[in-house]
């Protein structure tokens, strides 16, 4: 039997944590729960879950800080931020700190489970992807799909899974322009995207900061104004 995927819930409101846990278990996931930010960070590092659902307003350590520290420690676990506020600023901040996705409270369990599934499926796919030799992507960048290692001028670059997948998707179709909606469907696996396309912009910005010599004047991931993004040919 396939091993169950484990989701870590970091949420201080016990009633919300409970209902999420019940729904996850009904969908066949194992779950872990932490009720504050410090405990959440410790559990994430100790148990290496397959996905983290991370509330923003938490005692001891804010969700944003939990996410930032996980990324500092090199964790690439998919993180979905649960934000109580509609504010664009909060969503963007979470994404800039390395979250993969966010969902605004109150959310339906159906929507949350769809997001969990999309993010975990994405991870599973990337781990069983085709193994090929390292590919030179230009600008001193190399991508090695065998070990998911990206190097810039021979120095390893730490990417989150989503950043890695966005990069490899664009780099494997150089010159082809993809709209943000295309990228949401192809890289994020979302059928319905609504206004979430901002996520693509923030992820592109994060990726540029990591792989471009001059992120303000990118040479690898380019913008086709009013259309979308594409990877420069060599």
- The window from 54-62, 115-123, 184-192, 207-215 that contacts Ca ion (CB under 5 A) reads 54-62
Determine the residue with CB nearest Ca ion: 57
Give the number of residues in contact with Ca ion, rule: CB under 5 A. Answer: 3
Site for Ca ion contains 50 (CB under 5 A): no
Check binding of 16 to Ca ion (CB under 5 A).
no
Least separation in angstroms between residue 56's CB and Ca ion is 7
Interface with Ca ion, residue 57, by CB under 5 A: yes
From 8-16, 91-99, 204-212, 222-230, give the range in contact with Ca ion by CB under 5 A: 8-16
Query: What minimum distance in Å lies between the beta carbon of 171 and Ca ion?
Result: 38
Among 9, 10, 12, 221, binds Ca ion (CB under 5 A): 12
- Pair type for strands 51-55 and 30-34: unpaired
Q: Which residues bind Ca ion (CB under 5 A)?
A: 12, 55, 57
């Amino acid at each position: 039997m396939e091993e169950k995927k484990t989701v870590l819930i970091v949420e201080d409101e016990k009633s919300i944590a409970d209902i999420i846990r019940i729904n996850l278990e009904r969908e066949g996931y194992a779950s872990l729960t932490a009720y504050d930010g410090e405990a959440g960070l410790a559990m994430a590092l100790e148990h290496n879950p397959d996905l983290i659902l991370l509330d923003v307003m938490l005692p001891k350590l804010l969700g944003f800080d939990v996410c930032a520290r996980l990324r500092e420690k090199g964790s690439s676990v998919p993180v979905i931020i649960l934000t109580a506020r509609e504010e664009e600023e909060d969503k963007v901040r979470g994404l800039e700190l390395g979250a993969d996705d966010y969902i605004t409270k109150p959310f339906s369990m159906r929507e949350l489970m769809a997001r969990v599934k999309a993010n975990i499926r994405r991870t599973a796919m990337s781990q069983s992807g085709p193994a090929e030799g390292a590919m030179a992507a230009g600008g001193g960048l190399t991508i090695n799909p065998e070990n998911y290692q990206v190097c810039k001028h021979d120095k390893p670059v730490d990417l989150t899974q989503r950043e890695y997948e966005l990069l490899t998707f664009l780099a494997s179709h150089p010159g082809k322009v993809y709209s943000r909606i295309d990228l949401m469907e192809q890289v994020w696996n979302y059928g319905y995207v609504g206004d979430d396309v901002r996520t693509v912009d923030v992820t592109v910005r994060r990726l540029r900061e990591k792989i471009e010599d001059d992120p303000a004047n990118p040479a690898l991931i380019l913008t086709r104004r009013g259309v979308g993004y594409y990877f420069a040919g060599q």
